[in-house]
Structure formats: structure tokens, C-alpha cells
Structure 1
């Protein structure tokens, strides 16, 4: 998978919906891509709210 395709996985990774192999590959990408690492951090509050909502329903 190319780097551009990895960038598209940011949201899925933040939500924890990537399968195990995809998540490992994305984590390797995160080590070399400060842009994606920052986006994962930025998604943190929204991700937590979505998880709380999911648990409440």
C-alpha cells in the first residue's frame, strides 16, 4: 500500500476499525509520518465521545 493510501486510514485507525494487520502497517507508517500522528492525536477527543455514545446505546 502506498503512503497516500495510508493517510486515508487515519480515521479508521483512530476509531479502531482496521484489522490487526492493517493496524500494524499503519502504526509503522505513523512512526515516519508526523502529519498522520498529529491527526490521530487530534481525533482523540472525538473518538472518545463516539465510544461513549456507542456504549450508551
Structure 2
């Protein structure tokens, strides 16, 4: 819960719209990106995993 609160605080302190790549934001939120032939998987540090078509 402490980690989730820290991430929420970090996100709340960001501008409301991300218009360009933000390396600090990526490092805070994303644990791993796995690339497959037809899709890729983004694993967030919060434990959420999202599959996206390539």
C-alpha cells in the first residue's frame, strides 16, 4: 500500500496531460515491457499488466 500511495502522489504531482516522453515517469510506473511478434505486454510496478496489439 505504501508503494501504491507513493505512485499516486507522484502521478498527482505531474502535469495533467503528458505530451512528450517523460523518462522519470516511465521509471516510476513501468516495471517491464515484453515484445512479442504480434503484441506487447506492459507490466506496471503496481502489478497491473496490459497486452497491446502491435
TM-score, structure 1 length as denominator?
Answer: 0.28
Which fold has the larger relative contact order, with Cα–Cα distance below 8 Å and residues 6 or more apart in sequence?
A: 1
- Flag the structure with higher helix content: 1
- Flag the structure with higher strand content: 2
